[in-house]
Amino acid sequence: AQTVTQSQPEMSVQEAETVTLSCTYDTSENNYYLFWYKQPPSRQMILVIRQEAYKQQNATENRFSVNFQKAAKSFSLKISDSQLGDTAMYFCALTPYNQGGKLIFGQGTELSVKP
């Protein structure tokens, strides 16, 4: 079975500081994608960043970057210069290649950015 685990149910950070959200996963597949999705209070799911497992270079999108450790099956999200608008639930998700694009989600981390 494939699983995604987020061990931090809640986190908080001061505005302008940096925070890291943890995610570990388990899959027997060698080729897969990993994603971080953000769900603000509106409940709209928004893609934050994605990583292809065959790429060694860590993905970055502006203030968001990942630390992808394939051997350790770890995929953490770093948010730099945190902003109030970053307050949301963050979900880590996995999809192996050639399995219909099904996303396997973690339980989520609720991030609060404090002024």
Partner 1 sequence: DGGITQSPKYLFRKEGQNVTLSCEQNLNHDAMYWYRQDPGQGLRLIYYSQIVNDFQKGDIAEGYSVSREKKESFPLTVTSAQKNPTAFYLCATATGNDYEQYFGPGTRLTVT
Interface pick for partner 1 out of 20, 50, 58, 64 (rule CB under 8 A): 50
Q: Indicate the residue among 62 and 98 with the shorter CB distance to partner 1.
A: 98
Contacts of 39 (CB under 8 A, 6+ apart): 45, 46, 88, 89, 90, 91, 108
Minimum CB–partner distance for residue 93 and partner 1 (Å):
8
- Interface segment toward partner 1; rule CB under 8 A; list 22-30, 54-62, 80-88, 95-103: 95-103
What is the spatial distance between Cα 47 and Cα 32, in angstroms, rounded to a whole number?
17
Q: Token digits for 59?
A: 């993905």
x/- map, 7-36, partner 1, by CB under 8 A = --x-----------------------x-x-
Write the DSSP symbol of residue 59: P
